[in-house]
Amino acid sequence: MRSANLDEIKSALDVPAAIESIEAGFVALSSGAATVPPVGHIGFEAPPGECHIKYGHIHGDAVFVIKIATGFYENPSRGLATGGGMMIVMSAETGEPLSLLDDSGYLTDVRTAIAGCIAARYLAPDAVECIGIVGAGMQARMQLQYLRHVRDCNRVIVWARRGERSAAYRREMADAGYDVRVADSLRDLCDSSNLIVTATASTAPLVRSEWVRPGTHITAMGSDTPGKQELDPLLFARAGVCAVDSLPQCLDHGESGYAVAGGHIAEASLVELGDIIAGKAKGRSNPREITIADLTGVAVQDIQVAKAVWSALRNWA
């Protein structure tokens, strides 16, 4: 088994190839061509932490992937990142371990950012005037930087609950070549942008429906576990397309679950991103409609990003 460290993984990562790979993963998930067992979980109390094990196989693939992801919430006080983990690529023909991607959770950030980028590819307006970023953490940075692969827009407006974090985000993204303004308010952010990404740990709606301009696309990616919420459920009633990464998962703990439970839209109005990619469901059909992508994170993203990196590493060897 070949092990790859974080530097090797970063060098091997070809973002356009990983985007294609993850798109194919969403299509496989939505068409029933993936086996994705329930996520394994073990919790720890002192210090508080948890470990998730996500794994699965896309039918016909020569490999399958196991991801181990950890979150230990007192790590920052030790000077360590909260999240960590690794991905293991295994042969689906012999069971042999082929590659250990010792990525400390980096590829999870990547595959999450790529899902946002895929949602924007199929749903965002062709002409993005300004990108609104809600949140100022790791995903707020990565989502913006990955969007450049699908939409050409340099203008950014950012909002975070804590003003000093927005200011730090503005400086850092300006260094990366973006023209960033800190929003006066969330309403200001919505007024100024037609592609919005929410990437917070919020547990109550942040973006009010009436603030959102016609023609806007919103990707919400903070609802990765039960109890989180970023969007006003009323927005779903206004949207022309309500896309989800996984229907059962989004109904369970995504933004869409609140909208369906509240009677704002019918479950049948939700479409899976994989079906939009495959052309089985419609994406954006006119420049005035609002579109939403509700992303909770699915194992096919892990499988596909690991495969993309593993293929590149193998070609080097």
Chain positions contacting a copy of itself, by CB under 8 A: 1, 3, 35, 37-38, 40-44, 47, 49, 51, 53, 55-57, 64, 66, 68, 70-72, 75, 78, 80, 83-86, 88, 90, 92-97, 100, 102
Closer to a copy of itself by Cβ: residue 42 or 176: 42
Cα–Cα nearest to 245, from 31, 35, 26:
26
Closer to a copy of itself by Cβ: residue 55 or 122: 55
The active-site residue, picked from 54, 67, 228, 307, is 67
Q: In whole angstroms, give the CA distance from residue 207 to residue 188.
A: 11
Closest contact distance (angstroms) between CB of 80 and a copy of itself is 6
Write down the residue that tokens 């059962």 correspond to: 248
- For 112, residues 6+ apart whose C-beta sits below 8 A from its C-beta are 139, 142, 221, 295, 297, 301
Cα–Cα nearest to 250, from 277, 280, 220:
220
Q: In whole angstroms, give the CA distance from residue 255 to residue 278.
A: 23
151: left (phi over 0), alpha (psi -120 to 50) or beta: beta
Contact predicate 199/140, CB 8 Å: yes
Closest contact distance (angstroms) between CB of 142 and a copy of itself is 21
Closest contact distance (angstroms) between CB of 72 and a copy of itself is 4
Closest contact distance (angstroms) between CB of 109 and a copy of itself is 16
Q: Is 67 a catalytic residue?
A: yes
Closest contact distance (angstroms) between CB of 58 and a copy of itself is 12
Helix axes 138-147, 163-175, angle to 10 degrees: 40
Closer to a copy of itself by Cβ: residue 96 or 129: 96
Query: Which residues share a beta bridge with 87?
Result: 67, 101
Distance of CA 264 to the CA centre of its chain: 24
Closer to a copy of itself by Cβ: residue 64 or 310: 64
Closer to a copy of itself by Cβ: residue 84 or 297: 84
Burial of 161 (0-12, 13-18, 19+ CB in 10 A): middle
So which residues are the catalytic ones? 67
